Amino acid sequence: MSSSLNPKRTVAELKELRALTGDENGAQRVAFTETWLKARGWLRQKVVGLPLEIHEDAAGNTWFTLRGESEKALLIGGHMDSVPNGGWLDGCLNVLAGVEILRRIHAQFHGKPPVTVRLVDWADEEGARFGKSLFGSSACSGNLDMNEARVLVDKGGIKLPDALKNVGIDFERVKDSGAELKNAAAYLELHIEQGPVLLDLDLPLGAVLGTFGVERHAITFHGQAAHSGSTPMNRRKDAFLAAARLSPEVYRIAERSGNGVCTIGSCTTKPGIVTSVIEECRITLDQRHLDVAALAKMLHEARAASEIFAQEGNLSVSWERLWQIAPRPFNDELINLCDEAIRETCGKSHRLPSGPLHDAAEVAAAGVPTVMMFVQSLHGISHNKIEDTKEEHLEMCVTAFDKLAEKVMTSIFKTL
Ligand SMILES: [Zn+2]
């Protein structure tokens, strides 16, 4: 069926892209820069010869469309942009696997598949320059906060709308890109895992259940500064003590939650001198879970624990929400098909949630049935030049992802 699929070609193209847009410090395809434009120009060269309609939408996402018998479309997505000094696979693996699948489908159906197949290269997934991830896909999904985005400034003082204007994008119209999702029947995204789960299980591929919801809070304990020599231990109102007791408690909360994670990522103290009991201790807590109720429970438990520790220490505690995002569970039927495609390719699959956000989360939020496939990351690391995946796993992921595309195309066709 997929006799013309050539996963080795994908690996070769990834190396070609690395040579063209990377240096000794890693990938340099930061969105809206010259190198990014060069990578995108190179990508267009790669599909010359395929009968694709190619256009950029209002948010700068590039769409490669292979028209089928039906307008109903299977979407495959990725991003050519990288962080500065990034890895050679993050984002572009997805796009180049998509190119290979377009070639296979074109050959198999003589240019006219039963359903339309579209590859999208999202603009500025990483948010490396303006600190806002998922720009192109959130514009497309309609979730982009225009007032927040309008005033984003890069290190050089350039505003996002001006940077966009420079590459021919009118900021005020970016949400017009939502029209692209009109006939979308399913969205698929392949990605390196960027974590150690598949590596630790010694499995090449996994089916992604969705992206974690996040609750991010600052917690401040308020006590009393007192002399470290003259204040007996039983008379202290030590704000740090309560924060410290919360630390192992959040590990227990995460453990009880099943697959959730909790991180106390920062701790600042006042007065912060060696000779005083701590008067004020501010910590940040980041909690993530795939299940909305479990996430709410983790938050509730952390809050309750903080109040108990505050009370026991004669302190008060206050909470401030810094950021939150809902979990984005993927489509059950597509998760099953992804699992099946993986098992057919390498015998064993694993289902796992995604800690990082991806463009797929935005497409899922827009109501398009979505799934992602992960391929193992060596060292479990990404956003770093040492990011890597075994070549045999790269080839395997292209094969499995192609099988998934075929299965989804068939299932879309059945519903016509
Ligand atoms: Zn990525």
**Type and span of the H or E element at 33:** none
Which residues does 149 contact at the CB level (< 8 Å), separation at least 6? 130, 132, 135, 160, 171
- pLDDT by residue for the chain (416 residues), tens only, comes to 445 899 999 999 999 999 999 999 999 999 999 999 999 999 999 999 999 999 999 999 999 999 999 999 999 999 999 999 999 999 999 999 999 999 999 999 998 999 999 999 999 999 988 888 899 999 999 999 999 999 999 989 999 999 999 999 999 999 999 999 999 999 999 999 999 999 999 999 999 999 999 999 999 999 999 999 999 999 999 999 999 999 999 999 999 999 899 999 999 999 999 999 999 999 999 999 999 999 999 999 999 999 999 999 999 999 999 888 899 999 999 999 999 999 999 999 999 999 989 999 999 999 999 999 999 999 888 889 999 999 999 999 999 999 999 999 999 999 98
Q: How far is the CA of 116 from the centre of ligand 1 (A)?
A: 25
Q: How far is the CA of 360 from the centre of ligand 1 (A)?
A: 10
Q: How far is the CA of 54 from the centre of ligand 1 (A)?
A: 22
Q: How far is the CA of 70 from the centre of ligand 1 (A)?
A: 30
Q: How far is the CA of 415 from the centre of ligand 1 (A)?
A: 31
Q: How far is the CA of 323 from the centre of ligand 1 (A)?
A: 21
Q: How far is the CA of 93 from the centre of ligand 1 (A)?
A: 9
Asked if residue 399 lies in contact with residue 15, where contact means CB atoms within 8 angstroms, the answer is no
Q: How far is the CA of 222 from the centre of ligand 1 (A)?
A: 40
Q: How far is the CA of 126 from the centre of ligand 1 (A)?
A: 7
Q: How far is the CA of 112 from the centre of ligand 1 (A)?
A: 30
Q: How far is the CA of 344 from the centre of ligand 1 (A)?
A: 25
Q: How far is the CA of 382 from the centre of ligand 1 (A)?
A: 9
Q: How far is the CA of 226 from the centre of ligand 1 (A)?
A: 49
* Cα dist from 260 to 8, 291, 330, whole Å: 37, 9, 17
CA atoms of 196 and 211, how far apart (whole Å): 16
Nearest to 398 by CA among 363, 373, 369: 373
Longest dimension (CA), the chain: 86
Which residues does 28 contact at the CB level (< 8 Å), separation at least 6? 21, 22, 35, 82, 84, 85, 86
Asked if residue 337 lies in contact with residue 408, where contact means CB atoms within 8 angstroms, the answer is yes
Is the CA virtual torsion 185, 191, 194, 198 positive or negative?
positive
Q: How far is the CA of 82 from the centre of ligand 1 (A)?
A: 8
